[in-house]
């Protein structure tokens, strides 16, 4: 877990960046109704979690640099034995200070009375506009209350600034504690993928394999970090396939894209394996191209390299392989220049990973791809998708979808693959599946 002192350090760092005349306001995620009086499982807002570690709804964080009475203030629900009997324990204002390290805490019901006074005298308000329309209107109302008192000497803020401008750059660099959680999350997800490989048999339904993933996640106190993709046969060619309800046929491949979320930190792993336990020659030929592309890409996930370098490495390897199989014609450089590979590989090779699966952080700075630095975490996920109706492609290759994805930390030396426990060598996968039978 992450200690309260690390959350406090993050708040101090953000306040230094915001400046002494600013206020930072961050709202907890609202609860969402699924239907009637049933709620979706609650998941805290990632930015709010990053700064507080506080898991409850109905809370607001205010950071007021230089305030003599306390710079870090949390508004939260009060203790309520009757409601806690129904919904579980609450920290309350005393717990917020004692357990979470805030300078002060007030009941959330008092936020309308107190927060305008904290805003008054601040030149800039850092906030996420557009995430929660209801809270946007509340914040504007608090600022307008300060503006209404200008004749009495009140000083309203002159500027609203997107909080993401500061905060998301902080989140891009993972601490040791964060990396420990991400490594554990990846370990759970890797175990889930192994369990799925061992359980898969021809004639099973995709959702039965999905159940094996969910069992492994919940067994270790994790939840899915996104809706799992379990696509057999031609379903693997649908990049965001989510139905997970088709029968698995012998002789086809099964693509599973599934990650775990542990203490709010995500993993993101994809493996593609044969339903019947052995790759056909055509499947193996395509699989080996994707694996070679992934290994070449991972080797580029190094400090000082451009974010785009590992995508370019994957594209070059995939294009070479497609030419070798006769699925692309002409020379390598012409195919690269004309992007002919996009017929079979149409997405980027990865993204940032952290509290969100597609984590925050700019990919370009001043128009140029960002340079990778230690502490950044990316996914590396090349693929090939030969549509069932692909024209000009031999029938033996049609309907095959393959993706291989791992989570990789940028270090000061070699790339650190967090998800290495999930086998991806074709021979190793076949051996694992044979042993399970």
Task: Answer yes or no: 347 catalytic.
Answer: yes
Q: What is the DSSP letter of 387?
A: -
Catalytic entry in 37, 82, 134, 366: 37
CB 67 within 8 A of CB 21: no
How far apart are the C-alpha atoms of 26 and 288, rounded to whole Å?
47
CA separation for the pair 254, 271 (Å, rounded): 8
282 is catalytic: no
Q: Catalytic pick from 47, 178, 206, 381?
A: 381
The question of whether 351 is a catalytic residue gets the answer yes
Is the CB of residue 369 less than 8 Å from the CB of residue 357? no
Active-site residue, selected from the candidate residues 347, 398, 416, 421: 347
Per annotation, catalytic residue among 10, 128, 183, 351: 351
Give the span between the Cα atoms of 409 and 373, in whole angstroms: 9
Q: Can 381 be counted among the known catalytic residues?
A: yes
Query: Out of 9, 165, 358, 412, which one is annotated catalytic?
Result: 358
30-116-63-102 Cα dihedral, nearest 10 degrees: -80
Choice among 34, 85, 176, 240 that is catalytic:
240
Residue 245 sits at the vertex; the CA angle it makes with 213 and 343, to the nearest 5 degrees, is: 90
Catalytic residue among 71, 210, 257, 407: 257
Cα 270 to Cα 197: distance, rounded to the nearest angstrom: 12
Looking up tokens 């491949």, which residue turns up?
A: 253
Any bridge partners for residue 424, and if so which? none
Active site residue 184: no
Q: Which of 268, 359, 407, 430 is catalytic?
A: 268
CA-to-CA distance for 344 and 366, rounded, in angstroms?
Answer: 31
358 included as an active-site residue: yes
Active-site position among 168, 403, 406, 430: 403
Token readout for 40 is 């979706």
127, 262, 310, 385: the catalytic one is 385
Q: Which residues pair with 121 in a beta bridge?
A: none
Nearest-Å Rg of the Cα atoms of the chain is 25
Q: What is the DSSP string of 274-315?
A: ETTSS--HHHHHHHHHHHHHHHHHHTT--TTSBTTHHHHHHH
Alpha-carbon 61 to chain mean position = 23
Active site (annotated) includes residue 405: yes
How far is it, in rounded angstroms, from Cα 93 to Cα 75? 8
168 is annotated as an active-site residue:
no
Cα–Cα distance for residue pair 250/437, rounded to 1 Å: 15
Q: Determine which one of 405, 406, 407, 430 is catalytic.
A: 405
β-pairing, 72-76 with 104-107? parallel
**Distances from the Cα of 374 to the Cα of 50, 91, 178, 187, angstroms:** 19, 36, 13, 21
% helix, strand, coil for the chain, step of 5: 40, 20, 40
- Answer yes or no: 407 catalytic: no
Q: Which residues are catalytic?
A: 37, 240, 257, 268, 347, 351, 358, 381, 385, 403, 405
């Amino acid at each position: 877990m992450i200690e309260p002192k690390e959350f406090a350090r993050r708040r101090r760092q953000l306040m230094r960046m915001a400046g002494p005349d600013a206020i930072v306001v961050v709202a907890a995620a609202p609860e969402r109704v699924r239907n009637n009086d049933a709620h979706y499982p609650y998941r805290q807002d990632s930015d709010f979690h990053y700064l507080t570690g506080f898991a409850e709804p109905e809370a607001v964080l205010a950071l007021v640099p230089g305030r003599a009475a306390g710079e870090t203030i949390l508004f939260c629900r009060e203790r309520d034995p009757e409601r806690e009997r129904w919904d579980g324990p609450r920290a309350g204002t005393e717990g917020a200070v004692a357990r979470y390290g805030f300078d002060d805490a007030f009941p959330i019901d008092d936020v309308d009375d107190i927060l305008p006074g904290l805003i008054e005298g601040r030149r800039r308000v850092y906030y996420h506009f557009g995430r929660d329309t209801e809270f946007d209107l509340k914040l504007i109302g608090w600022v307008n209350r300060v503006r209404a008192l200008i004749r009495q000497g009140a000083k309203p803020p002159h500027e609203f600034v997107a909080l993401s401008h500061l905060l998301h750059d902080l989140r891009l660099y993972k601490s040791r504690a964060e990396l420990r959680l991400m490594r554990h999350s990846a370990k759970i997800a890797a175990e889930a993928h192994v369990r799925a490989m061992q359980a898969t048999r021809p004639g099973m339904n995709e959702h039965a394999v999905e159940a094996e993933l969910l069992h492994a996640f919940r067994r270790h106190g994790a939840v899915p970090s996104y809706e799992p993709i379990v696509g057999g046969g031609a379903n693997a060619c649908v990049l965001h396939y989510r139905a997970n309800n088709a029968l698995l046929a012998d002789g086809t491949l099964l693509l599973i894209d599934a990650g775990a979320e542990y203490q709010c930190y995500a993993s993101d792993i994809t493996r593609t394996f044969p339903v019947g336990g052995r790759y056909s020659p055509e499947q193996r030929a395509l699989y080996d191209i994707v694996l070679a592309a992934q290994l070449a890409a991972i080797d580029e996930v190094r400090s000082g390299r451009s974010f785009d370098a590992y995508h370019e490495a994957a594209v070059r390897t995939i294009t070479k392989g497609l030419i070798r199989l006769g699925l692309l014609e002409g020379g390598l450089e012409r195919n690269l220049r004309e992007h002919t590979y996009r017929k079979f590989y149409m997405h980027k090779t990865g993204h940032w990973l952290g509290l969100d699966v597609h984590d925050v952080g700019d990919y370009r700075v001043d128009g140029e791809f960002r340079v990778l630095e230690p502490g950044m975490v990316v996914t590396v996920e090349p693929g090939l998708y030969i549509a069932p109706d692909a024209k000009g492609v031999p029938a033996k290759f049609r309907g095959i979808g393959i993706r291989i994805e791992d989570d990789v930390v940028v270090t000061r030396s070699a790339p650190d693959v967090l998800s290495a426990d999930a086998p991806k060598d074709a021979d190793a996968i076949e051996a694992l599946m044979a042993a399970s039978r």
